[in-house]
Structure 1
Amino acid sequence: MTRRTAAHLDATGWAGALTVRADEHDLPAPVRDQLLVAVEACGVCHRDLIDREGRIRFLRLPIVPGHEASGRVLQVGPDTQGFSPGDRVATLHRDHCGVCDACLAGETTVCDRAASVLGLTIDGGYASHLLAPERVFYRVPDQLDAPTAAVLHCTLGTAWRGLVTQAGLRSGQHALITGANGGVGHAAVLLAKSLGATVTAVIRDDAHQDFVASLGADQILVDPGDTFHKRLGRRRADVVLDTVGATTFNASLRSLRVGGRLVTVGNIVDARVELNLGYIITFGIRVIGSSGASGADMEALLSWLGSHPIGLRIARTLELSRADEAQRLLRRGGLEGRVVLVP
């Protein structure tokens, strides 16, 4: 019998607080293909803030937030095929059906039949224990510490899917990263450098210049978000990974060379953008939407990391009891790396 302690989101918005409490009843034993995992760490992501603000229509309340958890498998359901008790695991954002057109094409991140989305439709990782379908999880090596394992998918995984799987970034090319001091942004700088690219990093506050320089960025532009394209010089970017969204989108678009690729992964501000279709058509620009990595992406990334280790930066580690504080800290902005909760 397992009694869980978790942070609960009972209503959207910032007027109230996340409440951390022990459940009144034990968690049920895993059924079908479920895993019961003892959580060792869970990252705090900007998507958690979007969820809390009610910007995603299928949010089910009350809910336990969090889609970036790592831990150990305690129990497995009778239909589980890929995991055993004791396995070290971390989470993807959601499960997938495995049989729809998207899944059969390998695009499991856009499966239209998946019912389990951590922190939105099923309880997530702001908890001591997590019960979810096995397709939500992937194996992680023992040498990864718990905080790094927790945030790996949503930071380096997102960067890998955007830069490598979607945009095909290669050694010798020029990559521009917006929001380069943030969780995904700093991971993207580190990954692009490990791939052999020249990297331009865009940040809003010059207080982060030393941090971003320590990541290996070749050029750092401090910019409010709408003029950095004017400062690039003659060499435009082959690939832009925009981790911010509306405020940086058009400058990102205009930072590209002819035939360049803009991968947009950020949606920090709930705003729309005006799109110059003529510019995209004339210069052959590809605009690509990308979200979390698939299981196949994570397998490829872990293989890469085996010979190209990358040190993700954890800005703050807080106890689970401070989950509300952690979200508000992220909301204020200006962090260098990720915030992680530990039970």
Structure 2
Amino acid sequence: MSGLPATMRAARFDAASKKLSVETVPVPAPGRGEVVVKVAACGICHSDLTQLDGHFTPKLPVITPGHETAGTVAAVGEGVSFWSPGDRVVVAAGRPCGTCRECRHGGGIDSCEKLEIMAFDYDGAWAEYLVTPAMTLVGVPEHVPLEQAAVLADAVSTPYGAVGTAGLRPAEAVGIWGLGGLGTHLVQLARICGASPIVALDPLPAARERALGLGADFALDPLDEATPDKLAEITAGHGLDVAFDCVGRGASVTQADRALGHRGRLVLVGMSPDQLDLGAELNFVRRRHSVVGHLGYRMKHLSDLVELVARGRLDVSGSVSAILPLEEAAEGVRRLREHDGDPIRILLRP
């Protein structure tokens, strides 16, 4: 732990009182197979809001939020030979449980049956330093800003994984409900995959306009009564091949499912406590619809995205809406909750 300070500043959330405050806490020490990362930036995500609002309860009574982060290696633990202090890295937002069947058989982070989620199961990265297993890191080239790399760790990698879950193919018609961090990047990724047409749906006019600029062919208001007819017209009556719901609310899921055509696939990406009503089972049998939930990503997905950004194939520079100091974490949360400035990602810089 040589070279690390004794204490650091970190945002701490008390699940009982629902209070978020920035405090001075000890700097974590790396255990065997772990590294300590000096945080350069960490995003504020809608899933952070669900925890702060009490919809999801963290495993720890007091926890540090934040799971979209990049920085530099500050210290390495015993047994870590492939990372060194000063290495630029992006950190995956989860770690293997170490006890499930897959972990016991050596499956690792991509096969774990009970993957632990950063900032929900263990302390996250709204802090100056973070301790994480060495296997959760992906190197970041010097010319890629660490602020952009941080966004990759969920806002881009989760939709990238969802594209794989959907089995999206070129020339398939795609609808994307919700144009926050996940949906906005799904528009870009669907474009890279050759989807056609791409229909983006969000009640906010600014979000729809942004989606058109990033590659959507059409942008619709899901609250407009004419939207179902417009979707049918856009797809020449065939319906969508794939619908991604990044909202997670019952109404958006129902609308997305009804927009699907024969053998359509509905991928649930957003999260909420809403109950879902998908209608009569007979419709799924006759139209051969499939519905699948999607969460997270694999390490290769994160590595792929670093490659795409590094090569200029994917531009996420516009995804960084604002960078605030750690002490203004509550202000960042307010901006995201109230859609102040229509942010894609607000980052905290310790």
Establish whether TM, by shorter chain, passes 0.5.
Answer: yes
Q: Which runs of 5+ in 1 are unaligned?
A: none
Aligned match for 1:255, one of 259, 271, 296: 259
CA contact (8 A) 2:67 2:93 kept: yes
Q: Corresponding residue for 2:347?
A: 340
| Alignment-mate amino acid for residue 129 of structure 2 | H
Query: What is the distance in 1 between the residues matched to 2:291 and 2:226?
Result: 19
Alignment CA distance shift 1:205-1:105 (3 Å): farther
Query: What is the distance in 1 between the residues matched to 2:153 and 2:273?
Result: 24
Query: What is the distance in 2 between the residues matched to 1:101 and 1:285?
Result: 32
Question: Which aligned pairs between 1:14-53 and structure 2 lie closer than 5 A?
Answer: 16=19, 18-23=20-25, 25=26, 27-53=27-53
Q: Corresponding residue for 1:290?
A: 294
Alignment CA distance shift 1:28-1:100 (3 Å): closer
Q: Which runs of 5+ in 2 are unaligned?
A: none
TM-score (norm 2): 0.87
Aligned match for 2:314, one of 263, 285, 309: 309
Query: What is the distance in 1 between the residues matched to 2:138 and 2:82?
Result: 9
* Structure 1 residue 236 corresponds to structure 2 residue 239: yes
Question: Which aligned pairs between 1:139-158 and structure 2 lie closer than 5 A?
Answer: 139-158=139-158
CA contact (8 A) 1:202 1:228 kept: no
User: How far does residue 53 in structure 1 lie from its aligned partner after superposition?
Assistant: 2.6
After superposition, the C-alpha distances for 1:242-295 in whole angstroms (9 at most, x for unaligned) are 10012300111111121111111101x431111222222221111111111110
Q: Corresponding residue for 2:205?
A: 206
Aligned residues: percent identity? 31
Question: Which aligned pairs between 1:31-180 and structure 2 lie closer than 5 A?
Answer: 31-96=31-96, 108=109, 111-114=112-115, 116-163=116-163, 165-180=164-179
Query: What is the distance in 1 between the residues matched to 2:245 and 2:92?
Result: 21
Alignment CA distance shift 1:226-1:149 (3 Å): farther
When the two chains are superposed, the root-mean-square deviation of aligned CA atoms in Å is 2.5
Q: Corresponding residue for 1:189?
A: 187
Query: What is the distance in 2 between the residues matched to 1:110 and 1:279?
Result: 34
Aligned residues: 335
CA contact (8 A) 2:67 2:153 kept: no
| Alignment-mate amino acid for residue 252 of structure 2 | T
Query: What is the distance in 1 between the residues matched to 2:263 and 2:61?
Result: 44
CA contact (8 A) 2:96 2:108 kept: no
| Alignment-mate amino acid for residue 153 of structure 2 | H
* Structure 1 residue 322 corresponds to structure 2 residue 323: no
| Alignment-mate amino acid for residue 175 of structure 1 | V
Query: Which is further off, 96-105 or 313-322?
Result: 96-105
CA contact (8 A) 1:225 1:251 kept: no
CA contact (8 A) 2:13 2:64 kept: yes
Query: What is the distance in 2 between the residues matched to 1:154 and 1:225?
Result: 30
Aligned match for 1:279, one of 269, 274, 283: 283
User: How far does residue 206 in structure 1 lie from its aligned partner after superposition?
Assistant: 2.2
User: How far does residue 184 in structure 1 lie from its aligned partner after superposition?
Assistant: 0.8
Alignment CA distance shift 1:61-1:99 (3 Å): closer
| Alignment-mate amino acid for residue 212 of structure 1 | A
TM-score (norm 1): 0.89
Alignment CA distance shift 1:315-1:225 (3 Å): farther
SS at match of 1:141: coil
CA contact (8 A) 1:225 1:248 kept: no
